[in-house]
Amino acid sequence: MSNLYSGDGVGTGTRYLRGDTDPEDFNWEDVLTNSDLLNLLLRNGKIRKACAWVSREAVRPRFILKKDKTIKGTKFGKAITFDNVSEYLEWIGFFTELEKAYTWARLFGTSIMVTFLEGEGIKQIYEPLSTYDSCQAYYPLTSGNGYQIEEVKGQIYYKITFTDILLKTKTFYVHANRVVTFNAPHLELKYEGSSDIEPMAKICIVQEQMLRSFMKRIHMMGSGIAIMKCGGEDEKEILDASIGDGLKYIQKIYTMEDPETVLHMYTPDLNSNQFREIWDIAQEEVANDMNMSKKLISGDPQGAISSAKWDTEISYTEVYQTQRHYKKATEHMLFLLGIQDTTFNWNDPFPTEQVDQNNEGNQNGTRSNSEEGSTKARSDSAFNSTTNSSQN
C-alpha cells in the first residue's frame, strides 16, 4: 500500500501531496492516508465544504430540548446557575467541539468527544467520574496527533497524543466511559465509519494538478520565453555566461532543434473551452460525491428564485442527514454533561430566503406559514428517502 503523502516540506508550513511537483508521481490506485485527507482539508476548498461547511450548517441553527430548564455550572471559577441549557452549552464550548467532531468524522470516518471536569487537573490517566462539565473533540492518530484505542488491564482506553505550545509531544489515557464515538455512515458493519469525502478526494487532487499546470503555462508566457539555438553543451555555457542576469525573469530554453518547433511545445494552443469542459466534468463528479449542488461547490450565490432554491434544497439534504445521523451520539454527549432529559429537535438549517422590499406580503424576510409547512414536508420526505445509517 503506497502513500500519496510526501514528507517534503513538513514543518515548513507547506502541505505537499505526492504529485504536486510531478503529476507522474500521482497514482489513482494509491490509497489516501489520514495525513493526505488532513492536508486536503487544510488546503482544498471543496474538501472543506464537504466536511467543515456541512458540519457547521448542521450545528449552526442549534436545537430545542424537549425539557429545558436552569442548570448549575462554573463560570470564571465561580458557581453559577445558567438560565437554560443552551446558554450553558454555549459557555463550555460544546457546539464548537461538536462541529469539530462532525467535521473529522466526515473526513476520516470516525472521531470522538471526551468529557472532562473543570479543576480535576492534568492527569496521565483519566478514570471515569460521576459528573463532567467540559468536552474536547479529537480525530484518529494522524501525523503524530490524535487518538488510538488500547487495552489496559482488561479495560478500553483511548490514548491521546498531542503537541503542546512548546512543540513537545505528550500523551494521556482516557477511559472509554468518558468517550462518545461519532462514526460516519458506514458501508459495512465495523467499528468505524467510511470517509464521506474519500470518493471525491482524488478528483480534487487532479483538479489541483490541472489548475497548477494551466497557471504555470500562463505564468511562463506572461514572463516571456527566450529560445536560443546552440550547437551543444559548450555553446550553451557560452551563451548563458554572455546573457548573465540580462534575462533574469525570462524562461530560457537552449535547444539544438528548430526554435519554432520548440516554441509550440512550450506554448501550445490553449483551448479554454476544452479546459472548461474537462473542469466541469470533474466538478460534476465532486458534486455527486458530496451530494451537493455544483453551483454551491463553485461558490455561486444562492437566492430565493426557483433554480437557486432547488440547488439549495439538494445541498441541504446532506445537512439534514448529518443532523439525523449524529443525533444519538449528540444526545449521549449531553447525558455525560449532566443533561438528564436529552431529547431534542434540531432547528431547520435551511437558510431564510431573501425577500424583496416591495413584497408587501412578507416584509420581515421570514418564511410564511405555507412556506414553513412545505419546508416540513420537504424535510420529512428528504429524510424518509435517505437511508439512515445506524450509530455504532
Q: For residue range 243-275, what is the model confidence (pLDDT) as tens digits?
A: 766 666 576 777 777 777 776 666 555 566 766
Q: Count of CB atoms within 10 A of residue 248's CB?
A: 8
**Residues linked to residue 72 through DSSP beta bridges, in sequence order:** 81
**Residue 248 within a domain:** yes
Residue 242 within a domain: yes
Domain span including residue 255: 198-277
Q: Report yes or no on 229 lying in a domain.
A: yes
383 lies in some domain:
no
CA 299 – CA 296 distance, rounded (Å): 5
What local confidence, expressed as pLDDT, does residue 59 receive?
Answer: 97
List, for the chain, all residue ranges whose pLDDT scores fall below the cut of 70. 1-15, 188-190, 215, 217-224, 244-249, 251, 263-272, 274-275, 278, 285, 288-292, 295-308, 352-392
- The predicted structure's pLDDT at residue 268: 55
Q: Each residue of 34-53: pLDDT tens digit?
A: 999 999 998 888 899 889 99
pLDDT for 380: 39
Asked if the structure places residue 143 within a domain, the reply is no
Query: What total number of domains does the chain contain?
Result: 1
Q: Is the pTM of this model over 0.75?
A: no
Decide if 176 contacts 158 (C-beta within 8 A). Answer: yes
Domain-located, residue 232: yes
Question: Which helix (DSSP H) or strand (DSSP E) does residue 128 occupy?
Answer: none
* Residue 250 domain flag: yes
Place of cell 478514570: 127
The whole-number pLDDT of residue 381 equals 34
